[in-house]
Amino acid sequence: MFRVTLFGESHGPGVAAVIDGCPAGLRLDPAEIHKELAKRMPPDATVTSARREQDEVQILSGVFDGYTTGAPLAMFVPNRDIRSEDYDKLKSAARPGHADYPTRIKYGGFNDLRGGGRASGRLTAPIVMAGAVAKKLLGSIGVSVFAHTVQIHRIRLEKQLTHEAIIRGTYTNTVRCADSETAEKMRAAILKARNEGDSVGGIVECIAEGLPPGIGEPIFDSLDADLAKMAFSIPAVKGFEVGLGFQASSVLGSVNNDPYTVKDGKVVTLTNNAGGILGGLTNGMPIVVRVAFKPPSSIPKQQNTVNLKEMRDTKVEVTGRHDPCIVPKAVPVVEAAVAIVLADHCLRSGTIPRVLGKKD
């Protein structure tokens, strides 16, 4: 119902999201989308790519008099600060861990290889734009979605933070971890990798609060299946879990099962190992998911690879502006991805109506 189409490439005219199925009557201010996009730019440039994306959203359709019209909502961000020459030498050598080799095979070499083309992290900008709209829709029914970094390389967030602390603290530092002490260690881990010409990965957790029970579908369109699919649509994701996730496979059923109780006249669970989802449906508890990111593949360190034109072994050093860790930038992307799926399911179930109010 809330169908998002992306287009654009890293070094083309720009990137865009088109949302088909956005309800009419949603107040939408480009400034709100800018605010979400800005979250992709951590304040401290040393931990992320030197490419500064100062994105300016153009709403090309679907908004009239400040409200969504119910027609497809198209949001475009022109590309700026492009330096294509950095990639020229990579045409023949496959970059280890990068999508360039299978992409070349798939598209017969016609793919736009500048800046990673369509596989570029640049494509996460339109996910964030679509997510900004989804978050507003969810906000209209009292649902909030927020993500934070829980691991960078080997540094884990060990403290149990309240939802309030996460919401307040995440975007105050450059690694998007709400605990400042852990955040400092994470930042150090990124800088260390960077100085060694290497890169690191990490884990982002995302929480959604306020969903009523019974949202979702069983089996093939289950809420967790759609969340998993959307998570793996984000570049560099290698793992996804809900609630206890992989850890659920090593605890007893009597421990993993969340006991029900009645609280303030509502059915709640005393623990939330299920991460808010049972049988593909919300159970009324907060949705909790975690997304694992691999370290970025583009590193200055010399690596063994193959010259694809001459089919012989060679070496490659990937220079240019690359992120030593994309996790900080990925936090708002995970937030957006989760929000898109939740908005879609809330629209399917009728929890969010097709028209928000009525215009005079």
Q: Which of the residues 106 through 125 are near its own copies (CB under 8 A)?
A: 106-112, 114, 117-119, 123
Q: Which residue has the tokens 């093939």?
A: 220
Tell which one of 188, 209, 232, 319 touches its own copies (CB under 8 A): 232
Q: Which of residues 9-38 bind its own copies (CB under 8 A)?
A: 9, 12-16, 18, 20, 24-25
**Whole-angstrom distance, CA of residue 257 vs CA of residue 26:** 39
346: contact with its own copies by CB under 8 A: no
| Structural Rg of the chain based on CA atoms | 21
Tell which one of 33, 283, 328, 344 touches its own copies (CB under 8 A): 283
43: contact with its own copies by CB under 8 A: no
Nearer Cβ to its own copies (31/162): 31
Q: Are 207 and 227 in contact (CB under 8 A)?
A: no
Q: Which of residues 185-204 bind its own copies (CB under 8 A)?
A: 193, 196, 198-203
350: contact with its own copies by CB under 8 A: yes
Q: Applying CB under 8 A, what is the total number of residues that bind its own copies?
A: 147
Nearer Cβ to its own copies (38/225): 225
**Whole-angstrom distance, CA of residue 217 vs CA of residue 351:** 14
Q: Which of residues 243-272 bind its own copies (CB under 8 A)?
A: 243-246, 248-254, 256-262, 265, 267, 269-270
**Whole-angstrom distance, CA of residue 192 vs CA of residue 200:** 9
Q: Which residues contact 316 (CB under 8 A, 6 or more apart)?
A: 90, 93, 94, 95, 96, 302, 303, 305
Nearer Cβ to its own copies (91/163): 91
Tell which one of 242, 333, 334, 338 touches its own copies (CB under 8 A): 242
Residues recorded for the chain: 360
292: contact with its own copies by CB under 8 A: yes
60: contact with its own copies by CB under 8 A: yes
Tell which one of 69, 144, 272, 319 touches its own copies (CB under 8 A): 69
Q: Which residues contact 233 (CB under 8 A, 6 or more apart)?
A: 127, 337
**Whole-angstrom distance, CA of residue 230 vs CA of residue 242:** 13
Nearer Cβ to its own copies (131/275): 275
**Whole-angstrom distance, CA of residue 194 vs CA of residue 177:** 19
**Whole-angstrom distance, CA of residue 133 vs CA of residue 37:** 12
Interaction mask 138-157, its own copies, x per CB under 8 A: -------------x-xx---
From 47-55, 56-64, 163-171, 175-183, give the range in contact with its own copies by CB under 8 A: 56-64
Classified as helix, coil or strand, 288 is strand
Q: Are 348 and 137 in contact (CB under 8 A)?
A: no
Q: Are 346 and 140 in contact (CB under 8 A)?
A: no
Tell which one of 82, 225, 272, 321 touches its own copies (CB under 8 A): 225
Nearest distance in Å: CB 8, its own copies: 5
Nearest distance in Å: CB 209, its own copies: 17
Tell which one of 41, 90, 94, 161 touches its own copies (CB under 8 A): 94
Interaction mask 304-343, its own copies, x per CB under 8 A: xxx-x--xxx------------------------------
Phi-psi region for residue 126, left (φ > 0), alpha (ψ -120 to 50) or beta? alpha
Evaluated on CA atoms 113, 114, 118, 120, the torsion sign reads: positive
Nearer Cβ to its own copies (159/238): 238
Kindly give the residue spans of alpha helices, DSSP state H, lying in the chain.
30-38, 100-106, 124-139, 163-169, 180-195, 223-231, 253-256, 327-348
Nearer Cβ to its own copies (31/219): 219
